[in-house]
Amino acid sequence: MDTSGEQSAASHRPSEILDTLKRLGFGAAIAVPDSWLGEILVRVEEEPGIRLVRATHEEEALAIACGSRLGGVRTAMFVQNAGLLSMGAGMVSLAQRYQFPLLMLVSYRGTVDDPVFYHVPKGRVTEPVLKGIGLPYAVADRGRPIGPQVEGAATYAEEASCPFALLLSQEDVQW
């Protein structure tokens, strides 16, 4: 059994997400925050090897991410699921049409585990909308370490040449 300190560090899931991005060579993260994402974005911003861009809107963030990946930089996005709903046109006519590999790390609001009632309308349509626009995704499994799930999503995006959304719970992403 590992020491409790190592256990504790290894089980801090937001740290695992950040460590995985660094290990895989991500050089840019494009973001629109929500309450769960606030602190991890500060941590990303402090990383010398990752350039964080704070966009005004998720569809704009998507286009910035496409440009960054076009320029040869492995690029992740941090957005709320509201952003997946509002970036639909850019997703199909830019990111998917041009086959940009992007890792989308998404705070999945409005599930039964989310205490904030007003996220429910977004939560219940998120997965049907992703299926509708043909955006591959996975819901992160809280019973397994998050790092390998982030790596799997990033690998899928590159090897299938498309954006891939990993839907994250509060404990996955809130620092």
Partner 1 sequence: MVSDARPSRADYYRALAKTLPADALVVTSLGNASYLWAVVRHAPENFYFEDAMGLALPLALGLAIAQPTRRVVVVEGDGALMMHMGSLVTVGAVAPSNLTVLLIQNGVHAASGGQALTNPGLDLAQLARAAGIAHAKNVATPEALASEMGTASAGDGSQFLVLSTKPDVEVVRPPIALDPVMTKHRFMSAIGAPRYIPTMFGGGRLERA
Decide: is 86 part of the binding site for partner 1 (CB under 8 A): no
For partner 1, which residue of 70, 113, 116, 121 counts as binding (CB under 8 A)? Answer: 70
Contacts of 86-90 with C-beta under 8 Å, sequence gap 24+, read 86/57, 86/58, 86/59, 87/58, 87/59, 87/61, 87/62, 88/129, 88/133, 89/59, 90/59, 90/62, 90/63
For partner 1, which residue of 40, 63, 104, 173 counts as binding (CB under 8 A)? Answer: 63
Closest CA to 113 of 31, 174, 43: 174
User: Residue 30 Cβ, how far from partner 1 at the closest point, in Å?
Assistant: 7
Decide: is 22 part of the binding site for partner 1 (CB under 8 A): no
For partner 1, which residue of 53, 125, 129, 139 counts as binding (CB under 8 A)? Answer: 53
Looking at the Cβ atoms of 13 and 69, the one nearer to partner 1 is: 69
For partner 1, which residue of 62, 105, 135, 166 counts as binding (CB under 8 A)? Answer: 62
User: Residue 99 Cβ, how far from partner 1 at the closest point, in Å?
Assistant: 5
Decide: is 78 part of the binding site for partner 1 (CB under 8 A): no
Decide: is 159 part of the binding site for partner 1 (CB under 8 A): yes
| Secondary structure, 3-state, 31-81 | ECCCCCCHHHHHHHHHCCCCEEEECCCHHHHHHHHHHHHHCCCCEEEEEEH
Q: Is the Cβ–Cβ distance between 75 and 55 less than 8 Å?
A: no
User: Residue 160 Cβ, how far from partner 1 at the closest point, in Å?
Assistant: 11
Q: Is the Cβ–Cβ distance between 79 and 32 less than 8 Å?
A: yes
Looking at the Cβ atoms of 92 and 116, the one nearer to partner 1 is: 92
Which residues are near partner 1 by CB under 8 A? 24-25, 27-28, 30, 51, 53-57, 59-75, 89-90, 93-94, 97-101, 151, 155, 158-159
